[in-house]
Structure 1
Amino acid sequence: MVNRRQALTGVGGAGIVAALMAAGFRQEPVAMAAAGAGAAAPPPTTITFTYRNHTITITVSGDMVMAKVDNRPAVHVSLDSLRRYHSHLLPFSDYTDLRKMLSDLVDMHERKVLAL
């Protein structure tokens, strides 16, 4: 009979490792087939606009958006499944318009509420 200690350290651990390896070996050929079939991600899209004398550059890549304000380090914005944009700089807000979100960030920067 296997007790709890043996299950957690020995026999159970070996079973978990075996199950994870089997799952990994099953998924690898599928991933290789998808990569070989030319399923490359589309190239990122870059958009530039000006708001209140600040140049904002947006790079969209899938569900991730990176924005630079006046070529400063990028602001990370994520896009959820409901097509709403979220940023860690505005944690309690979500936007359906990306330009409006970035305009609000610039406004907050000018009011010295946050530093971009």
Structure 2
Amino acid sequence: MNEVVSAYLAHLHLEETVAMPALWQYAGDAELGAVLAAFRASRSPEEALTDLRRMLPALPPAVRAVIVRGVVETAPAQEAGSLLAAATTTLSQGQRRRLYEDLGVPEAWALQGQP
């Protein structure tokens, strides 16, 4: 397990110190945004939900809130609430509470699917 963790940390270091600076040097915000938008558009709703379930628990609270806010703003209200309720089932109670505080909404909002 230590070898896996060590290799992964080395990978992350290389990604953050070499790959990402090179990417930002040659691609602007608009270009990278278009790539991300195309990726999101290529995912089915089920795949997007799986992505959220896997990703949200590992993110820092501020980043989690930005991503969830983006999902809510781009989906119809009923769909956004349902998606958020399903995605946040993987969060701990404390993580969920913090997310709703960061979003400025009561937790019952996601369970009811209301903005």
The TM-score with structure 2 as length reference comes to: 0.28
Larger RCO (CA within 8 A; separation ≥ 6): 2
The TM-score with structure 1 as length reference comes to: 0.28
Q: Which has the higher strand share?
A: 1
Q: Which has the higher helix share?
A: 2
